[in-house]
Copies of this chain bind each other. A is one copy, B any other.
Amino acid sequence: MDAEPFRHLIDDLNGTQPPRVWSLLVTVFGELAQAPEAAISGTLLGALTQPIGIKPEAMRVALHRLRKDGWIDNRKTGRTSAHFLTEWGRAQSAAATPLIYATAPLSDAAWVILTDPAKPAGVQQIAGAWISSNTAIVAHPPNDSQTLGARLDPDNPVPDWVSRGVCPSDLATQSRHLAARLTDVQRALAGAEPLTAVQIAALRVLIVHSWRRITLKLPVLPDFVFGPDWQGGPCRALVAALLDSLPKQELSDLERGVTG
């Protein structure tokens, strides 16, 4: 596909909120270089991010920040650098991967739990979301005898104030917009010119990233507790369908393509 229509595709996908460069690079490494020995050349990073509208200077700044934060490291190889995830960065990436790439909800049950209001729970760690000082929606029943738990019936819609506590309304709105944008991209790709390997890789990164930006901000809970505005289900299905139609490119092939 020519640079111009590809740029339109990217703009359709980004909408009004282009991603932060350092955050997008985290997705790039998660998508292409999670393997222990994998490294991405500066040349390939440039080839992937330039058509998405990221300037070389912005990429250098972002790489510097990610190195400073301990996400990545680099080594010189001839005239260019090879960038790779640190052990810590790889662990973070591995932990997020199942959440981001899940093709179905990771949880199909939700419980409401209540702790004794006379004994504030403080910042008790839960796999879920607090909706008041002593009430939370969680994916598993409580395992302590002083917490009341009751399973929510998926057939009963939860009240607005509960779903807003689980999923802030701006994220629900973003999911609605993303579902619409992914549908547009799916239509645009249907009759489009063939994409290059780098274009496919860049598009995959951007699709994964657009969903990652929403889903990683939310607790792992079944969709029905997120309220009627939440379009996470359609987003997940569209991401899965798009990634299916845009086969994953081997890092070594991509490197050969940009250096060859």
- For A147, the chain B residues whose CB sits under 8 A away are 159
A114 and B146 CA atoms in complex are apart in Å by 18
Is residue A232 within 8 Å, beta carbon to beta carbon, of the partner chain?
no
- A162, B148: Cβ atoms closer than 8 Å: yes
Each complex incorporates copies of this chain amounting to: 2
Pairs A–B under 8 Å by Cβ, sample size 19: A114-B114, A114-B132, A116-B161, A117-B132, A117-B133, A117-B135, A118-B161, A132-B134, A141-B156, A146-B160, A146-B161, A147-B159, A148-B152, A148-B158, A148-B159, A149-B156, A150-B150, A151-B151, A151-B153
Known contacts A148-B158, A149-B156, A114 near B135 by CB under 8 Å: yes
Is residue A111 within 8 Å, beta carbon to beta carbon, of the partner chain?
yes
Give 1 or 0 for each of A104-134: 1 = CB within 8 Å of chain B CB.
0000000110101111000000000001111
- For A135, give the chain B residue with the smallest CB separation: B114
Interface hits, A139-178 → B, CB 8 Å = 141, 145-153, 156-162
Q: Which 3 A-B pairs have the closest CB atoms?
A: A150-B150, A116-B161, A117-B132
Q: Looking at chain A, what size class is its interface with the partner chain? A: 20 to 34
- For A117, give the chain B residue with the smallest CB separation: B132
- A159, B112: Cβ atoms closer than 8 Å: no
- For A118, give the chain B residue with the smallest CB separation: B161
User: Besides A116-B161, A135-B135, A145-B159, 11 other CB < 8 A contacts?
Assistant: A114-B132, A114-B162, A117-B132, A118-B161, A119-B161, A132-B134, A145-B157, A148-B158, A148-B159, A150-B153, A151-B153
A157 and B146 CA atoms in complex are apart in Å by 10
- A159, B135: Cβ atoms closer than 8 Å: no
A148 and B133 CA atoms in complex are apart in Å by 16
- For A116, give the chain B residue with the smallest CB separation: B161
Query: Which of B119, B133, B150 is close to A112, meaning CB atoms less than 8 Å apart?
Result: B150
Known contacts A132-B134, A135-B135, A116 near B151 by CB under 8 Å: no
